[in-house]
């Protein structure tokens, strides 16, 4: 049972990359547009983020150095500041989108007006992070997000075409719109590598007090199981959308459309589980981004940091995560569409992506830091392979976003 | 309004109306919650109203004038049905009628697109 609780960090970090507000709608749109064709992209992305999270968790455990500590040292101050600015912009925009998403989910639950619910959403997030110890944040929002497993149940009830589903694990193009196909592939891969996942994950390892050698196994297990579950949720949403929306010609544009996809085969219980799952997943992603923003600042500038400290013991860290939620509030109260904001944050994440992952790979492979725990041949090969994937995502994301009018064609 | 744009707008209307029909279906069969139906029907209605307004305000290519007017009228009607659903999110009898009307609108939008 203790092991089950210990992997909560991986689940919470994975939620940000697979089932946050933007991903929930994006996965459903991918399924509604291409059926099962893009499942492989989720699998490729999941393996990549497992590789890098394991690496940065290992660095945090052995060298006690979370990601931004490493970024500053390996890239120097100027490039480090560029990475910090791009990362913080992505964190802030994504946090804003999640706060807006949380207010939308609260609307689905209570039917109240949107703007007062933004206030309620921010209060829920502020109180949760202020009052709960880190491990309970991981458990409540990580395991709560797993309520989205209702989409796997819905997928099974819809009796999918197993042959076509299996074929979806093999990369192939079967569409008259290859550019839009490419946009969705890059979008799915880019989402799984959102930098705040590794900032949160590696800092979380320090928060959880991981020590070698025992916790290196836990780190591996946490990365594999956490991101594996994230991928299962992501694929389940895609399958439900493929089964339900493709024949009906529905283009999902709202969180509600995705919730409706759980209700149709499972009934009212399915709807409620889907909405509650979204509540925990989106709240978890909001907390991921706000804390990641505070971790980055504190690690870059050398402040005291950590949820394991009292707020008075890490005042600048505490003020930063509070500031992130307040900034998010100011952004979404303007009425901007949260899903549009997440799509926009992709543009800025392309700057942060390579600058975040290169230092992790370099330090994880450096035996002067890591000793006997430095990358072996397999981790090194996978790390370099995925660095190429990340570079392709970075180069292709913005042109495809423009060329396809954000996938609208 | 070009043929391409018309086709896209007709597809959007078909999608919105079909989704509205699915939402109404849940009300008719008591498989949903009032808060969800009210909120989501409002979202769909707002998008459908926006679509109706955009279609109505465009200058159609020759040959698309009648079809564009028909598409705008269908979108306006669908938006009204969705507003009605948002106003009566737990009325099963009314939802049955709304479901039929929205499914009819979706079919009509699909037919319009096929005539291009």
Per-residue pLDDT tens for B61-101?
A: 888 888 999 999 999 999 999 999 999 999 999 999 999 99
A409 CB neighbours in chain B (<8 A) are 8
B44 CB neighbours in chain A (<8 A) are 254
Mark which residues 13-52 of B lie under 8 Å from A by CB. 14-15, 18-19, 22-23, 25-26, 30-36, 38-40, 43-44, 47
A253 CB neighbours in chain B (<8 A) are 47
Q: Is A107 on the interface with B (CB under 8 A)?
A: yes
Q: Do B18 and A248 touch (CB under 8 A)?
A: yes
Q: A27 with A238: CB under 8 angstroms?
A: yes
Query: Interhelix angle for B34-57 vs B65-87, to 10°?
Result: 160
Those residues with Cβ within 8 angstroms of residue A283's Cβ, 6 or more apart along the chain or in another chain: A98, A102, A124, A125, A128, A141, A144
Spatial distance between the Cα atoms of A119 and A114, rounded to a whole number of angstroms: 9
Indicate the SS3 state at residue B91.
coil
Q: Average pLDDT per run of 10 along chain A, which is 409 residues long?
A: 72 80 90 95 95 94 86 84 89 94 96 95 97 92 93 95 94 89 91 88 89 90 91 96 94 94 95 96 95 94 91 95 97 90 75 86 90 94 95 90 80
Question: What mean pLDDT comes out for the span B107-113?
Answer: 92
CA A135 and chain centroid, separation: 18
Q: Which sign, positive or negative, has the C-alpha torsion A303, A306, A311, A313?
A: negative
The minimum CA-CA distance between A47 and chain B, rounded to whole Å, is 34
The minimum CA-CA distance between B18 and chain A, rounded to whole Å, is 7
Per-residue pLDDT at A1: 56
Question: If you search the block for the tokens 């064609």, which residue do you land on?
Answer: A409
Per-residue pLDDT at A3: 66
Burial of B4 (0-12, 13-18, 19+ CB in 10 A): exposed
Per-residue pLDDT at A148: 95
- The end-to-end CA distance of chain A, in Å, is 48
Per-residue pLDDT at A106: 97
Report residue B48's pLDDT band, with 50, 70 and 90 as the boundaries: very high
Q: Is A267 on the interface with B (CB under 8 A)?
A: yes
Q: Is B81 on the interface with A (CB under 8 A)?
A: no
Per-residue pLDDT at A345: 77
Task: Kindly tell me if the per-residue pLDDT of B60 is higher than 60.
Answer: yes
Spatial distance between the Cα atoms of B48 and B13, rounded to a whole number of angstroms: 7
ipTM reported for the complex surpasses 0.90: yes
Report residue B1's pLDDT band, with 50, 70 and 90 as the boundaries: confident
């Amino acid at each position: 049972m203790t092991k089950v609780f210990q992997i909560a960090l991986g689940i919470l970090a994975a939620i940000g990359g697979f089932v946050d507000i933007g991903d929930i709608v994006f996965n459903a749109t991918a399924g509604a547009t291409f059926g099962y064709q893009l499942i492989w992209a989720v699998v490729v992305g999941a393996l990549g983020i497992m590789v890098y999270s394991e690496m940065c968790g290992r660095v945090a455990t052995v060298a006690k150095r979370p990601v931004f500590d490493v970024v500053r040292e390996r890239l120097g101050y100027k490039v480090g500041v560029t990475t910090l600015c791009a990362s913080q912009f992505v964190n802030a925009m994504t946090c804003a989108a999640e706060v807006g998403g949380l207010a939308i989910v609260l609307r689905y639950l209570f039917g109240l007006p949107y703007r007062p619910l933004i206030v309620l959403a921010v209060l829920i997030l502020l109180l949760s992070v202020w009052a709960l110890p880190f491990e309970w944040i991981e458990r409540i929002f990580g395991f709560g997000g797993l309520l989205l497993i209702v989409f796997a149940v819905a997928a099974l009830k819809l009796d999918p075409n197993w042959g076509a589903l299996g074929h979806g694990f093999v990369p192939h193009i079967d569409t008259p719109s290859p550019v839009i196909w490419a946009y969705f592939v890059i979008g799915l891969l880019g989402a799984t590598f959102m930098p705040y996942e590794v900032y949160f994950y590696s800092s979380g390892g320090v928060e959880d007090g991981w020590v070698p050698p025992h916790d290196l196994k836990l780190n591996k297990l946490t990365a594999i199981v956490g991101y594996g579950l994230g991928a299962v949720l992501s694929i389940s949403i895609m399958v439900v959308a493929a089964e339900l929306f493709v024949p009906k010609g529905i283009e999902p544009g709202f969180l509600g459309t995705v919730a409706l996809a759980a209700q149709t085969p499972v009934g009212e219980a399915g709807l409620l589980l889907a909405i509650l799952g979204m509540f925990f997943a989106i709240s978890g992603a909001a907390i991921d981004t706000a804390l990641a923003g505070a971790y980055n600042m504190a690690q870059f500038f050398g402040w005291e940091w950590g949820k394991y400290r009292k707020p008075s013991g890490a005042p600048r860290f505490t003020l930063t995560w509070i500031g992130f939620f307040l900034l998010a509030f100011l952004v979404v109260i303007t009425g901007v569409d949260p899903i549009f904001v997440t799509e926009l944050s992709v543009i800025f994440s392309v700057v942060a992506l390579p600058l975040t992952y290169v230092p992790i790979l370099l330090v994880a492979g450096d035996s002067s830091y890591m000793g006997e725990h430095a990358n072996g041949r397999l981790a090194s090969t996978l790390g370099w392979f995925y660095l190429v994937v990340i570079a392709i995502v970075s180069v292709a994301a913005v042109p495809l976003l423009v060329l396809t009018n954000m996938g609208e064609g | 309004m070009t043929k391409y744009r018309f086709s896209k707008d007709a597809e959007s209307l078909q999608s919105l109306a079909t989704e509205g029909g699915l939402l109404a279906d849940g009300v008719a069969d008591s498989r949903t919650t009032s808060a969800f139906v009210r909120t989501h029907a409002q979202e769909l209605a707002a998008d459908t109203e926006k679509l109706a307004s955009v279609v109505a305000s465009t200058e159609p290519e020759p040959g698309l004038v009648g079809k564009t007017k028909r598409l705008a009228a269908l979108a306006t009607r669908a938006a009204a049905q969705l507003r009605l659903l948002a106003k009566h999110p737990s009325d099963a009898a009314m939802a049955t009628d709304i479901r039929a009307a929205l499914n009819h609108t979706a079919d009509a939008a699909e037919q319009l697109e096929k005539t291009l």
